[in-house]
Structure 1
């Protein structure tokens, strides 16, 4: 496949075998956007922040979409394979443990992280998904995670871009696949709030500190 490298920022810690927090921005963001949030999640982990390879009217994204809330699933599949391949190569280059990656994604970034959970169910050690949508309309009922991978989701109850009924369905799919799901419905819209960060920091501390 004709995979391309992704632009990235990597900030290592002097701790052998440390977890790596993988930051995945939302539409129009870049590899700098989520760095402040990473510092609030905790410490003692490597930070790896990627920039999506797709441009939508000059705005970086991780995969194409056909319209608002309508994903180009063929491109999402390709870009997920591209990202995982890149992460495996980068782990060797930068010297981090590819089995200890925890994704933290917002919106578009949360959706490619979710796609990774579906296409590579045992690849990530954990995932923080802010304002996610189900990455594929149809997800195979045979999907199974064997690591009991913890997954944090936070959604806004007044988010105009995410259907709440769809979120309930998505959470059920992840639970049925044996992911350890922690879902939070917050009284807000699509924007991130302080509560998202505090809840996810608490979740990270419980599972990885």
Structure 2
């Protein structure tokens, strides 16, 4: 599908059920987490957009100028555009809850949506990297957030992951953390943590 501003896939649930947005990592696409989202929340509407930025042929949700260095103007553009996409589809499907899951670059656009908006009731951030100081957002009070990460992740350093968790906690969100001893890979304990979080 190419309407709504993003190429995306949708599996519609019944009105009044949750809507579950899943965001791929760099080089992924709308297929990366689509089936996984449906396995996690069988009754939800599943929406998986493809990032609209190409980095040497790899799809992303916003531009960067180097590893870990974001184009902040493009991040603002992408956040506004994605917020409109999320709000429109959530309203059309009459969603009871709005839930997000993102990995790597997908986690970063989801994290910035949390920082800038009040759209998501729950969010799962797999290996996020927010290399700047986020602004306060009173809408985060009581929001449920799960962050998973690798202690030796070369792309998303553990201290920055912890700083993001501390930020959300300071905003009075309900934050769960799940670590593993590896790097930028998703491991079974993360999957189990996601299932507990959504269960």
TM-score with structure 2 setting the length? 0.92
How far 1:90 moved relative to its partner? 3.0
1:168 aligns with 2:162: yes
Aligned equivalents of 1:97, 1:146: Cα separation in 2: 22
For this pair of structures, how many residues does the alignment match? 196
Q: Structure 1: state its 5+ residue gaps.
A: none
1:137 aligns with 2:136: no
Match of 2:119?
Answer: 123
Query: Given that residues 28 and 59 in structure 1 are in contact (C-alpha distance below 8 angstroms), is that contact kept between their aligned partners in structure 2?
Result: yes
Aligned equivalents of 2:40, 2:95: Cα separation in 1: 20
How far 1:36 moved relative to its partner? 3.1
TM-score with structure 1 setting the length? 0.88
Deviations 1:87-146 (A, max 9, x none): 223344xx31356210100000000000001111x2111101100112x51222x32235
Q: Structure 2: state its 5+ residue gaps.
A: none
Superposition RMSD on alpha carbons, in Å? 1.6
How far 1:69 moved relative to its partner? 1.1
Task: Map residues 58-69 of structure 1 onto 2, 5 A cutoff.
Answer: 58-69=57-68
Aligned equivalents of 1:168, 1:49: Cα separation in 2: 27
Aligned equivalents of 1:44, 1:5: Cα separation in 2: 25
- Secondary structure in 1 matching 2:193: helix
Match of 1:47?
Answer: 46
Match of 2:98?
Answer: 101
Query: Given that residues 20 and 46 in structure 2 are in contact (C-alpha distance below 8 angstroms), is that contact kept between their aligned partners in structure 1?
Result: yes
